[in-house]
Amino acid sequence: MSDCLFCKIAAGEIPSNKVYEDNLCFAFYDIAPQAPSHFLVIPKAHISSVAAIDSENSNLVAHIFEVIAAVTASEGIDSYRVVSNIGEQAGQTVPHLHFHVLSGRDMTWPPG
């Protein structure tokens, strides 16, 4: 999608602090971290949110979760939270599917 911030980050057109990249997904540190370690994992293909996951693209989500497991393990992170906000009321500000991976501090439940 031409006017999408995260499409541009995944394509390297906007700089980011990259954590991981392969042909299907891209991971980078959040510009406004909400925990000592806070990175985002996104598909390179434009998907607007979890609400747009279907049988045609759900393989990307499975892949992203494999990547989350592998990257956290390689960084020695053994406790973390994975969050995806869907829609305005839930706090989604960038309309490109992304999974927040937060760690390094005690977390509360329920989330705010």
Is 91 an interacting residue with respect to ligand AMP (CB under 6 A)? yes
In the bound complex, what is the minimum distance in angstroms from residue 52's beta carbon to ligand AMP?
14
62 binds, among ligand AMP, Zn ion, none (CB under 5 to 8 A by kind): none
Alpha-carbon Rg for the chain, nearest whole angstrom, is: 14
Is 16 an interacting residue with respect to ligand AMP (CB under 6 A)? yes
Which secondary-structure segment (H or E) carries 103? strand 99-103
Produce one character per residue of 80-98: b if its CB has 16 or more CB atoms within 10 Å, e if not. beeebbeeeeeebeebbbb
Active-site residue flag, 100: no
Report the SS3 class of residue 90: coil
108 binds, among Zn ion, ligand AMP, none (CB under 5 to 8 A by kind): none
Is 48 an interacting residue with respect to ligand AMP (CB under 6 A)? no
Is 55 an interacting residue with respect to ligand AMP (CB under 6 A)? no
- Please give the C-alpha separations between residue 31 and each of 16, 53, 56, 60, in angstroms, as whole numbers: 8, 25, 31, 24
User: Which range of residues in 19-27, 51-59, 87-95, 103-111 is near ligand AMP by CB under 6 A?
Assistant: 87-95
Number of Cβ atoms within 10 Å of the Cβ of 39: 27
Is 85 an interacting residue with respect to ligand AMP (CB under 6 A)? yes
| Chain positions contacting Zn ion, by CB under 5 A | 1, 4, 6-7, 46, 96
